[in-house]
Amino acid sequence: MLAEGNGYKVKRIEVKPGHRLSLQLHQNRNEHWVVVEGEAIATVGDRDITLQPNEVAMIPVRTRHRVANPGNTPLVFIEVQCGSYLGEDDITRFEDDYNRLAPATKLES
């Protein structure tokens, strides 16, 4: 966590080479990802976007998304969350390599 205030939260996130985060969506927030190191494959809805340092992806509310690191070096990006509710329980996961799916969420995939 880098910063937090009314309606926003800023995080620094690192993804190991060859790894990816959950395919998920949020009901109450948008996210903006700014790549600062490495290369990212950002899935936003039904599109895969390759991002290099200083490039940005915007994730609208209620849009399935994930980020993957296809490279051989760590991926570092800054995530800016904006919305009416920023709690960690505003995540619906559809796929997760780390087995963090709730039983009810598994039925939605």
Range of the domain at 46: 3-97
Q: Which runs of E-coded beta strand occur in the chain? A: 3-5, 8-15, 23-25, 29-37, 40-44, 47-51, 56-59, 65-68, 75-83, 92-95
Supply the pTM of this predicted model.
0.87
Structural domains counted in the chain? 1
pLDDT in tens, the chain (109 residues): 999 999 999 999 999 999 999 999 999 999 999 999 999 999 999 999 999 999 999 999 999 999 999 999 999 999 999 999 999 899 999 998 888 775 444 334 3
Q: What dihedral angle (degrees, nearest 10) is formed by the CA atoms of 50, 53, 54, 60?
A: 40
d(CA 55, CA 65): 17
> Is residue 19 situated within a structural domain?
yes
> Is residue 65 situated within a structural domain?
yes
- Whichever domain contains 70, its CATH number is 2.60.120.10
